[in-house]
Structure 1
Amino acid sequence: MLMIGNLFVFMSFQMLIPTLPPYIKSLGASGLEIGLVTTLFSIGAVLSRPFIGFMLEYKARKSLVLIGAIALLLITVIYPISQIVVLFLLFRFAHGLAWGWSTTVNGTAAVDIVPNSRLGEGMGYFGLSVTLGMIIAPSLGIYLFQVTSFTNLIMISGILGVIAILLLWTVKYDTPEVVKNTKREELKFSFTGSLIEKSSWYPAFITVMATLGYGSIVTFIVIFGEERGIDQIFLFYLFNAIMASLARPIAGKWFDQRGPLGLIVACSGVTFVGMWVLSYAHSNFAIAVAGLLFGLGFGSLIPTLQSWTLSLTPANRRGVANGMFFSSIDLGIGLSGLVFGILAQYIEIATLFQISSIFLLITIFMTLVTVRKKRIAEQQTI
């Protein structure tokens, strides 16, 4: 039920991701302001996560999950009144605050339920709700944006948000004993301490690199389709979803049996190829092929990085680690939106995709550094 509820949270939210940039463009926004749609949202999410990560060290899960879902719904339904660019960007920042809260709590609630011995597989299945929401919903959002009004798009997003709240209400949450036995007075809040979990910061930093590459697609793929005259851009998300659904269970079991490193290298390589296929796409077929590659690569990369992060983290700090992980995603996508939003004023979007693919090579390099260090450590032990 948590997986299904989380799917509807992501469906409600993610159907807005590819449609907000062209909407704000229709309001007269510049390339930089279009980039700020992603950047301000990411800043809000990053700022809220240390506070909710701290609360997860001593509070039960249910009330926190429901507060996050309700806040997302309320902010979503007020978007249509934002006919001024500055007001729209302000709403976007507030949306980021709520998103940071909700994703951190939902992910931590899932970790509490999954046994440690099947962490990779369990979080892979839970992550499937994230991936499917991230992939199916943009297709639906793009379709609705093209055939109906922005207000109707928001209304449907709101309905999905209501369904999410009802589903999350029924979940039987499992709060760890160490959290139940901890009192607020026993803890001291530190913004930095609740933003970064030292035991698992490295995979989170690799996540920043991976999402820096992906962020340009999130922000500009609809506009890219308009420039290329590709009328079925939703095929990218559709085939992405199909391949991610097929690959995710296999990737989760690979993680539990062999660890994350080889899997991250393979997934990053496939995603890199997918970005170049996308940059050369001039047809619906090429868009579909790029979607398949992304579903196979990026669709398994993110949950693998999350499982790696959590596997290195003590149970009572997993809320902080989850917040750090999702902040890494938002930071990468946000920086990507800002940097490539500026570059978009001077170069073609296809070139942006090619430049941003370099960050997938950096992801591979950083992972191989870890592989080398691990091998050296094993040799010294022998």
Structure 2
Amino acid sequence: MSWNGIAMYGGMALGAPLSIEMTKVYNMSITFILAIMAVLPIISLLSTIKLPALKVDKTKVRTPFLKIIRRMLRQGTGLGLATIGYGCIISFITLYFMEKNWGNASLAFAVFGICYILVRIFFDSLPDKYGGYIIVLISLIIETIGQAIIGFSPTRTFAIIGCGITGIGFSLIYPGLGVLVVNRTEPQIRGTALGLYAAFLDLALGITGPLGGLIAGWLSYQVNYLLLGSISCLLAMIIISYKRNS
């Protein structure tokens, strides 16, 4: 789970500044860059063709779907709430920078991604060593601080620092809560449980855009990091802490 995140957010950290560099320095058109983006998934597909297929034990009795959801609902909800802060960055940081006349926000994306990756590389063993619970709570505190810094930022530099701190906090939440999901499920249903668990991340990203857009329309983009990002992290802490051993 840790290395999967490194690959995904590494692409995000490189994508924004590299695209801007290609358009401004090398005068490449947006159409050409989009064409490159369309080809990259095909290359990814080709790289997975020769991966060995996993054997499936068809004799195992399937666990009811709702039972699996109940096993990981609290962890999935915590992941979804923690993801909202990340969703605010990818959805609104560029518009926030434009609103403040701070220039392009590619550095904010890069700093978030770099901090996220560095934490995964050097501290990815912490959830296994100390348990997912305490690592997730510490991570949520750090992410909350990062979101608050973005929300109260007086300058571009502070906003970028806030994105970096958010990346540090968000980095170990997925594997930290994933450890709890694995510990609560039997081997034969762990794949399904982890798939449902990951779906909460996608659901949170899907909700953050429209909800944050409404808030920005009523107030400002800056408020999203206080009302959505910070408060969501605090709610995640409450949910994860409630009946810890249940």
**Could you tell me which of 365, 369, 373 is aligned with 2:238?**
365
Q: State the percentage of identical aligned residues.
A: 20
Q: Letter of the aligned partner of 2:117 in structure 1? A: S
Residues in 2 aligned to 1:194 and 1:169: alpha-carbon distance in whole angstroms: 33
The one-letter code matched in structure 2 to 1:241 is G
Q: TM-score scaled by structure 1?
A: 0.57
Q: Give the SS at the match of 2:79.
A: helix
Task: Report the counterpart of residue 42 of structure 2 in structure 1.
Answer: 162
Paired amino acid for 1:326 = A
Map 1:189-268 → 2, pairs under 5 A: 193=65, 197-268=69-140
Give the deviation of 1:341 after TM superposition.
1.6
What root-mean-square deviation, in Å, do the aligned CA atoms of Structure 1 and Structure 2 show? 2.8
Deviation at 1:368, TM superposition (A): 2.1
TM-score, normalization by structure 2: 0.85
SS in structure 1 opposite 2:153?
A: coil
Pairs aligned (count): 243
Q: Which residue of 2 aligns with 1:327?
A: 199
Aligned CA distance change for structure 1 residues 289 and 161 (closer, same or farther; 3 Å): same
Q: Is the 8 A contact 1:124 1:304 kept in 2?
A: no
Deviations 1:272-326 (A, max 9, x none): 1111212233544223312321221112222322333233222222332232122
5+ unaligned residues in a row in structure 1: which ranges?
1-122, 378-382
Other-structure match for 1:153: 33
> Which runs of structure 2 are paired with 1:112-151 in the superposition (5 Å)?
123-141=1-19, 148-151=28-31
Contact 1:124 1:303 in 2 (8 A): yes
State the alpha-carbon separation in 2 of the partners of residues 262 and 291 from structure 1: 22
Please tell me the residue identity of whatever aligns with 2:75. Answer: P
Residue pair 2:85, 2:166 contacting (<8 A) in 1 also = no
Q: State the distance in 1 between where 2:37 and 2:122 align.
A: 31
Conservation of the 8 A alpha-carbon contact between 1:255 and 1:263: yes
CA distance in 1, matches of 2:3, 2:175: 9
Query: How far off is 1:132 after superposition?
Result: 1.9
**Counterpart AA for 2:237:** I
Of 278, 281, 297 in structure 1, the residue corresponding to residue 153 of structure 2 is 281
- Counterpart amino acid of 1:154? L
The Cα of 1:236 is off from its aligned counterpart by 1.5
How far has the Cα of 1:237 moved from its partner? 1.8
Residues 24-46 of structure 1: per-residue CA shift (max 9 Å, x gap): xxxxxxxxxxxxxxxxxxxxxxx
Q: How does 1:52-67 map to 2 (within 5 A)?
A: none
* Aligned partner letter, 1:161: P
Cα shift at 1:127:
2.6
| Matched residue type, 1:294 | T
